[in-house]
Each structure stands twice: as C-alpha cells, then as structure tokens.
C-alpha cells in the first residue's frame, strides 16, 4: 500500500467542528418595535416552540403612565443533532407606544452598550472562564406596515442601532398590504435607508465570492450555498413577515402554519406570501455564524477600541445620566439645608420649652411656699383659739 502524500492538515476543520459541537453557542436576538406587530408570534414561529409567552392585550397599556421602554430577557436552551444553543430573546415592551417617544430608544441603546462593557470587563479579569455573553448578535426592527415609509422615530432609532449591532429591518404583519403596495413600501424603505445612511446588516459584505478555478464537478453537485442566496436576500430587504403559530387548512387540504381569511389562507412558510423562510434561513441556517462573528469582530471590536482609547462618544443616555446626577446633587444639598433649618427650628423650640418649664417650676415653688405659709398661719390661729 502506497503511503499517502497528505499529512493531515485538511482534518483541522473536522477537529474544529468537534470542539464547537461540544462547546455549543450563545445567540442573542433583540426584537424592537411597537406593540401589536407580531414580535412574540414571530419568535415562537421561528423556533417552532413557545419561547416567549403572549402578553395579555388588555394589560398592554397598564404601565402607560410610566412612559418608559422596558427590557425583558427570555432564555432558552435548544438542541438539534447533539448541538446545543443557548438562546436569549430580548424584548422591548413599551417602545413607541406613547405620544412623546423622544427617549424611547435610550434603554435599548444603554442595554447594548452595557453588554459590551460587561463582556469587556470579564475579558480583563485574571480568570476568564464562565464568561456571560449577552451581546446582541441580531436586532430585528419591526416596521409598522403603513405603506408610506419610515417615521422619524424609526429613522432615529435605526441609526443608533445600526451603529451598534447587526440591524435587520422587518415589516410586521405584511399581509395587511397587497402585493403591489408591499413592493412599493419596500422600495421606499430601501431608499430612506440609503438616504439617511442607516447601517443595516449587509449580507454580502462578509461573504467571499467563489475563487476562480473552483468549479469542479463535485462543487456543482453540492447544494446551494449561502453565498448563492446573498444577492437575492439583499434585494428583498426589508423582510416582509407574517407570523402565526396556528395550523390552518388550505383549500387543497394541506395543513400549514398561517392565517385564515374569508378570501383565502396566508401561509407563513410560503415564499410567495411572505419572506419568513428567507429570514429564518438568514438567522439560523446560513448566516448565524456570520452574525456572531461580525458582532465579535466588527461591533464589539469597535466598542472595545473606542473604550480603551477613551474616545467613546457621549450618548444621550450618558448626558441624561449626568443631568440626573446633577439634579440629584442639587436635591441632596437642598434637602441638607432644609434639614439644618428644621434642626435649628427644633432647637429653638426646645429651648423655649425648657425656659417655659423652668418658669412654671419657679411659679410652682412660689405657690407651694405660699401654701406652706398659709398652713402655718392657720395652725397658729388654731392654737390661739384653743387657749
């Protein structure tokens, strides 16, 4: 048997595959958008299980008076073919639900930056085992299907999110628009994204084209690669989504996930009806590793470099924090002054009480002496009368 000329370098990917399979992966998805756009339904449909519980629509505006955006984190462990993934879903209830939404994005931006800072601090520790990684790998921004374009709030928030994480714009409840209006709406959004220089996740930016000379017969027989689907994915952004976790029956007898209307059935997993399959493949099947890698090598590395160089821009959240600190310090000084005034007033009142007590004690002693004198006089008169 002739010795092989290979020395085993080509087995390195197999070794890496075993290591990654044993280690598993963290994947954090953030969903941002107004209430009622199907974010919870989309997440549950995406992973074919109930990960996020549906909220009671009757209590949706229960915290209306607080006028704040909450951050809710749902964690789940998913396993498929011996590979385990630790999934984190970050929801943002309350976003865009108020009349004044100027500061609606501050908790979201602060959460993303705080996760970068937390991971950076863990890397600087002497022991780096057991690091908690909650960095946002994909941010799905749900756009309301108005048919007119992005609102000023959408533009402002998307610009802030796009510079910090992989932003993927999504049109929620796309079945409320007809096909022609949906195409026109997508075109308008793409032009607005380009006009306002909003950074969205570029599917084709980090995918390397095929090298010349790699067109062997074996490669031609392989399945379609993610790079082959990249141009089409770039052209269809933003993704139009229809979410449903219910089974319905079509006119030809098939049972599918979809929504049933008097005029027919909208199928979730039908590319002619919506882009759910394309977005699912992008997030899970074809570009999950790229989303994780780009978060590490692009967004986190940018934050790390600016943090170590001391050139992090002052965000509105930090400005508000410093403003709140100044107001807190002013209130503390005012409270201290008020306490001192009250203490002085109390001391004066106490001194007046002591003086009044002394005066009353002296008057009491005088009256007591007068009573004693009367008793003595009375006793003297009594003796004289007996004689």
pLDDT tens-digit profile of 129-139?
Answer: 778 889 999 99
| pLDDT at 57 exceeding the cut of 70 | no
Q: What is the largest CA-CA distance in the chain?
A: 158
Query: Which residues lie below 8 Å from residue 33, measured CB to CB, with a gap of 6+?
Result: 39, 92, 95, 96, 140, 141, 142, 143, 144, 170, 172
Residues 138 and 100 in one domain: yes
Using alpha carbons, select from 125, 289, 135 the residue that is nearest to residue 206: 289
Phi first, then psi: what are they for 8, rounded to 5°? 105, 5
Are 115 and 158 within one domain?
Answer: yes
Write down the H helix ranges in 244-315. Answer: 276-280, 288-294, 301-309
Query: Is the domain of 299 the same as that of 348?
Result: no
Whether residue 278 is contained in a domain is answered as yes
Last residue of some domain: 313, 344, 359?
A: 313
- Looking at residue 136, its pLDDT comes to 93
Reported as a pLDDT band with limits 50, 70 and 90, residue 220 is: very low
Kindly give, in sequence order, each residue whose CB lies less than 8 Å from that of residue 61, ignoring residues fewer than 6 positions away: 97
pLDDT higher for 58 or 181? 181
Provide the pLDDT for residue 207.
53
Select from 250, 283, 313 the last residue of a domain. 313
The C-alpha atoms of residue 254 and residue 90 are separated, in whole angstroms, by 34
For residue 281, tell me if it sits in a domain: yes
Q: Provide the pLDDT confidence category of residue 223 given band limits of 50, 70 and 90.
A: very low
Contact call for residues 30 and 165 (beta carbons, < 8 A): yes
**Average pLDDT in the 71-95 region?**
86
In a domain, 164, yes or no: yes
Please check whether residues 254 and 360 belong to one and the same domain: no
Say if residue 387 is exposed, middle or buried (CB neighbours under 10 Å; 0-12, 13-18, 19+).
exposed
Report the C-alpha gap between 381 and 356 in whole angstroms.
37
Q: Is it the case that residue 60 has pLDDT exceeding 80?
A: no
If asked whether residues 159 and 244 sit together in one domain, one would say yes
pLDDT attached to residue 221: 40
Instruction: Report yes or no on 212 lying in a domain.
Output: no
As a whole number, mean pLDDT of residues 23-37 equals: 88
Q: For residue 211, tell me if it sits in a domain.
A: no
Question: 106 and 51 in one domain?
Answer: yes
Range of the domain at 99: 13-206+219-313
- Among 313, 338, 371, residue at a domain's last position: 313
Q: Are residues 306 and 341 in the same domain?
A: no
Chain Cα centroid distance, residue 2: 60
Nearest to 164 by CA among 106, 113, 198: 113
In this structure, the answer to whether residues 253 and 326 fall within a common structural domain is no
Strands laid side by side in the 167-171 sheet: 72-80, 83-91, 25-32, 138-143, 167-171, 239-240
Q: Are residues 279 and 334 in the same domain?
A: no
Residues 291 and 318 occupy one common structural domain: no
Strands 247-249 and 255-261, sheet pairing: antiparallel
Domains in the chain, number? 2
Higher pLDDT, 89 or 68: 89
Residues 356, 247 share a domain = no
Residues 121 and 139 in one domain: yes
CATH number at residue 183: 3.40.50.300
Summarize pLDDT for 332-382 with one digit per residue, the tens.
889 999 999 999 999 999 999 999 999 999 999 999 988 888 888 888 888
In this predicted structure, the answer to whether residue 215 has a pLDDT above a threshold of 50 is: no
The residue with greater pLDDT, 144 or 209, is 144
The C-alpha atoms of residue 266 and residue 260 are separated, in whole angstroms, by 6
What is the residue-averaged pLDDT of the chain?
Answer: 81
Alpha carbon distance 116, 135 (integer Å): 6
Instruction: Categorize the per-residue pLDDT at 214 as very low, low, confident or very high, splitting at 50, 70 and 90.
Output: very low
Of 182 and 54, the structure prediction assigns the larger pLDDT to 182
In this structure, is residue 58 part of a structural domain? yes
Whole-structure pTM value: 0.72
- pLDDT, position 65: 44
């Amino acid at each position: 048997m002739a010795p092989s000329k290979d020395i085993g370098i080509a087995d390195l990917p197999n070794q890496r595959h075993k290591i990654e399979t044993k280690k598993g992966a963290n994947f954090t998805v953030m969903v941002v958008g107004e209430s009622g756009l199907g974010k919870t339904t989309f997440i549950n449909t995406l992973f074919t299980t109930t990960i996020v519980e549906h909220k009671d629509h009757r209590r949706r505006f229960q915290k209306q008076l607080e006028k704040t955006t909450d951050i809710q984190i749902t964690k789940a462990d998913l396993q498929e073919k011996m590979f385990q993934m630790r999934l984190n879903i970050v929801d943002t209830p309350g976003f865009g639900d108020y009349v004044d939404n100027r500061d609606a994005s501050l908790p979201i931006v602060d959460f993303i930056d705080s996760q970068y800072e937390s991971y950076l601090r863990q890397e600087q520790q002497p022991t780096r085992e057991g690091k908690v990684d909650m960095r946002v790998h994909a941010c799905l921004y749900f756009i309301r299907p108005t048919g007119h374009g992005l609102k000023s709030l959408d533009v402002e928030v998307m610009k802030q999110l796009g510079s910090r994480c992989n932003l993927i714009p999504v049109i929620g409840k796309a079945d409320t628009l007809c096909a022609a209006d949906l195409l026109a709406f997508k075109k308008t959004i793409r032009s607005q994204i380009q006009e306002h220089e909003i950074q969205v996740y570029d599917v084709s930016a980090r995918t390397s084209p095929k090298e010349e000379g790699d067109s062997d017969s074996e490669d031609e027989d392989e399945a379609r690669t993610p790079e082959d689907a990249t141009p089409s994915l770039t052209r269809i952004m933003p993704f139009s989504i229809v979410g449903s976790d219910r089974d319905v029956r079509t006119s030809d007898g098939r049972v599918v996930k979809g929504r049933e209307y008097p005029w027919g059935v909208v199928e979730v997993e039908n590319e002619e009806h919506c882009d759910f399959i394309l977005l699912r493949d992008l997030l899970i099947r074809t570009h999950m590793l790229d989303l994780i890698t780009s978060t590490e090598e692009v967004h986190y590395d940018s934050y790390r470099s600016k943090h170590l160089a001391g050139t992090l821009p002052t965000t509105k959240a930090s400005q508000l924090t410093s403003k709140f600190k100044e107001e807190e310090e002013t209130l503390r000084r005012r409270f201290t002054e008020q306490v001192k005034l009250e203490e002085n007033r109390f001391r004066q009142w106490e001194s007046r009480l002591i003086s009044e007590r002394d005066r009353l004690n002296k008057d009491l002693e005088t009256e007591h002496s007068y009573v004693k004198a009367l008793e003595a006089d009375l006793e003297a008169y009594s003796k004289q009368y007996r004689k």
